[in-house]
């Protein structure tokens, strides 16, 4: 009998690995499927160091329908899925859209097709990028999904449509789509964290790599926006808080027999922080200087977005608890760990 088995696709990634830790802490038995295209298997050893449990791991590409069908047919007792596996670089998706449409959509369609015979509670890793530049702030789940700013964001929009249609056709499927804001930080053990490949595109890993001397000064992408200090505003959320939201989503689906089998939640803190506020929070939390210079705006950036998060608080009984200083100090501790222990 499956001891609360959960299939976690993309489970060796940044958010996936933190979610595996929280699943184990909550008494679930996670099973990782990952093609390791954007992560390293060493992360599994790190998870074992944190939890004492070495999760089962299967390496294959969900875009390969044969491997996906074989795996699911050998695991017909899987009733819970958390689907992280996807490419996620906004900039790269603009340069190479077909790579993103193929990978992010084929993998989802293959997975759903393979699972169609068994009852499944499915948590989907979505994104606030589906909102584009919101008309109202904080943005609510009812806000209109806007034309995506990038092929990456469009794959998230299309994936949500695929999931909605599939729940309508398949009464055995329940879906909770979690629209993440900006995940940052690292586990308090500093044994897992964000492992960007190449020059980080995201703000916080760039800050920590610049501060440790791995990169040049931070370039702030524009300070002429219509915001208090002229720099863009985002809703940064600690990756451990985000990981815990996935467990809350599973628990909610396990007890919820509501007819509505496709639900969407904003997963953020509800608080906006500007680029300069994040840099300042890093310096205050670590005592380390983070030098920056102002550069041109970055194509595709929205001016500001932060989420209304009361729906997740009320229905998932989940609320972010960790603040910006802890996000910064934990990201810095992880940067120092990987300097001593390269992965
Ligand atoms: C944040 C702000 C940049 C780097 C990310 C993910 C996306 C989605 C949402 C999950 C922006 C500025 C950045 C730098 C800078 N997450 N910046 N200098 O663009 O909000 O999107 O979170 O789905 O997948 O990409 O995050 O960290 O790239 O940028 O000034 O060196 O920091 O312009 O205003 P973004 P980000």
Residues of the chain with pLDDT > 70: what percent? Answer: 99
pLDDT digits (tens, 9 = 90+) for 236-277: 999 999 999 999 999 999 987 777 899 999 999 999 999 999
101 is catalytic: no
On whether the CB atoms of residues 322 and 238 are closer than 8 A, the answer is yes
Q: What is the pLDDT of residue 307?
A: 96
Q: From ligand 1's centre to the CA of 236, what distance in Å?
A: 10
Q: From ligand 1's centre to the CA of 232, what distance in Å?
A: 9
Peptide bond just before 64 cis, omega within 30 deg: no
Confidence label for 158 from pLDDT (cuts 50, 70 and 90): very high
pLDDT digits (tens, 9 = 90+) for 104-120: 999 999 999 999 988 99
Q: What is the pLDDT of residue 1?
A: 45
Going by alpha carbons, the residue nearest to atom 24 of ligand 1 is 88
Report the relative pairing of strands 236-238 and 218-221 from DSSP bridges. unpaired
Q: From ligand 1's centre to the CA of 183, what distance in Å?
A: 10
Confidence label for 2 from pLDDT (cuts 50, 70 and 90): low
For 109-208, strand residue ranges (E) read 120-127, 173-180, 182-184
201 lines ligand 1 (CB under 6 A): yes
Q: From ligand 1's centre to the CA of 203, what distance in Å?
A: 6
| Mean per-residue pLDDT, 89-96 | 88
Choice among 52-66, 214-228, 292-306 with the minimum mean pLDDT: 292-306
14 lines ligand 1 (CB under 6 A): no
Ligand 1 test: best mutation among 203, 278, 291, 328, most atoms within 8 Å of CB? 203
Residue 175 has pLDDT above 70, yes or no: yes
218 lines ligand 1 (CB under 6 A): yes
Ligand 1 test: best mutation among 134, 156, 221, 245, most atoms within 8 Å of CB? 221
Rg (CA), the chain: 19
Residue 204 has pLDDT above 80, yes or no: yes
Q: What is the pLDDT of residue 200?
A: 94
Q: What is the pLDDT of residue 251?
A: 96
Q: Which residues contact 39 (CB under 8 A, 6 or more apart)?
A: 10, 12, 13, 14, 16, 17, 195
Residue 49 has pLDDT above 60, yes or no: yes
Give the single-character DSSP code of 136: S
Of 152, 225, 265, 337, the catalytic one is 152
Domains belonging to the chain, first-starting first, are 2-184+236-269+308-321 (3.40.50.720)
129 lines ligand 1 (CB under 6 A): yes
Residue 195 has pLDDT above 70, yes or no: yes
Going by alpha carbons, the residue nearest to atom 28 of ligand 1 is 202
68 lines ligand 1 (CB under 6 A): no
H/E run at residue 233: strand 233-234
DSSP string for residues in 262-296: EEEEEES-S--EEHHHHHHHHHHHH-----EEEEP
Name the average pLDDT for the chain.
95
Residue 141 has pLDDT above 50, yes or no: yes
pTM summary value: 0.96
């Amino acid at each position: 009998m499956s001891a609360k088995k959960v299939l976690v696709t993309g489970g060796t990634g940044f958010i996936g690995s933190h979610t595996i830790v929280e699943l184990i802490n909550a008494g679930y038995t996670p099973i990782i499927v990952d093609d390791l295209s954007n992560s390293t298997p060493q992360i599994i050893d790190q998870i074992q160091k944190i939890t004492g449990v070495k999760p089962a791991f299967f390496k294959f590409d969900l875009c390969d329908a044969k491997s996906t069908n074989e795996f699911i047919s050998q695991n017909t007792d899987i009733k819970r899925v958390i689907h992280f596996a996807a490419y996620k670089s906004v900039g790269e998706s603009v340069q190479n859209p077909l790579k993103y449409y193929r990978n992010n959509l084929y993998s989802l369609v293959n997975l759903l097709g393979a699972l169609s015979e068994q009852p499944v509670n499915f948590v989907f890793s979505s994104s606030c990028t589906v909102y584009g530049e919101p008309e109202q702030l904080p943005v609510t789940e009812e806000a209109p999904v806007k034309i995506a700013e990038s092929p990456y964001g469009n794959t998230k929009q299309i994936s949500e449509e695929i999931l909605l249609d599939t729940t309508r056709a398949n009464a055995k499927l329940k879906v909770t789509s979690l629209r993440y804001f900006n995940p940052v930080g690292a586990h308090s053990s500093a044994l897992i964290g964000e492992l960007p490949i190449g020059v980080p595109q995201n703000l916080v890993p760039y800050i920590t790599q610049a501060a440790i001397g791995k990169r040049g000064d931070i370039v702030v992408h524009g300070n002429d926006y219509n915001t208090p200090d002229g720099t863009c505003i985002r809703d940064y959320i600690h990756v451990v808080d985000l990981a815990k939201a996935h467990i809350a989503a599973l628990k909610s689906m396990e007890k919820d027999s509501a007819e509505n089998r496709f639900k969407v939640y904003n997963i953020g803190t509800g608080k906006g922080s500007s680029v300069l506020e994040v840099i300042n929070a890093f310096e205050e939390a670590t005592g380390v200087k983070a030098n920056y210079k102002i550069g041109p705006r970055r194509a595709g950036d929205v001016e500001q977005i932060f989420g209304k998060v009361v729906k997740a608080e009320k229905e998932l009984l989940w609320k972010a608890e960790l603040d910006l200083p802890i996000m910064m100090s934990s990201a810095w501790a992880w940067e120092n760990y990987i300097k001593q222990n390269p992965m």
